[in-house]
Amino acid sequence: MAWVGKAVGGVLQIAGTIGGNISADKTLKKMKKLGGQDPAYTESPYAKNELGLAQTLYNGRMAGAMDYEKGIQNNAANTIANAQRNATDSSQLLSVGAATQGQTNDAYGKLAQMEAGDQQQRYQNLVAGQRGMTAEHQAMFDDKLRRWQDQLGLLMKHNEIRQQQWGNVSNLGSSISGMGSFGGGGGASAGGGSGAGF
127 within domain boundaries: yes
Q: Nearest CA to 182 among 3, 2, 5?
A: 3
Q: Nearest CA to 100 among 79, 83, 85?
A: 79
136 within domain boundaries: yes
In this prediction, residue 175 carries a pLDDT of 63
In this prediction, residue 71 carries a pLDDT of 95
| Total domains, the chain | 1
129 within domain boundaries: yes
pLDDT in tens, the chain (198 residues): 566 666 666 676 777 777 777 777 777 777 777 767 677 778 888 888 888 888 888 888 888 999 999 999 999 999 999 999 988 888 998 999 999 999 999 999 999 999 999 999 999 999 999 999 999 999 988 988 888 888 888 878 877 877 777 777 666 666 666 655 555 444 444 444 444 443
139 within domain boundaries: yes
Its domain, for residue 136, covers 2-183
Q: Nearest CA to 107 among 142, 67, 137?
A: 67
In this prediction, residue 1 carries a pLDDT of 58
* Other residues' Cβ atoms within 10 Å of the Cβ of residue 81: 10
189 within domain boundaries: no
In this prediction, residue 100 carries a pLDDT of 93
For residues 14 and 175, the answer to whether their CB atoms sit within 8 Å is yes
191 within domain boundaries: no
128 within domain boundaries: yes
Residue 182 CA from chain centroid, whole number: 61
In this prediction, residue 99 carries a pLDDT of 94
Residue 141 CA from chain centroid, whole number: 6
Q: Nearest CA to 110 among 82, 71, 81?
A: 71
194 within domain boundaries: no
**138-154 in b/e burial notation, b at 16+ Cβ within 10 A?**
eeeeeeeeeeeeeeeeb
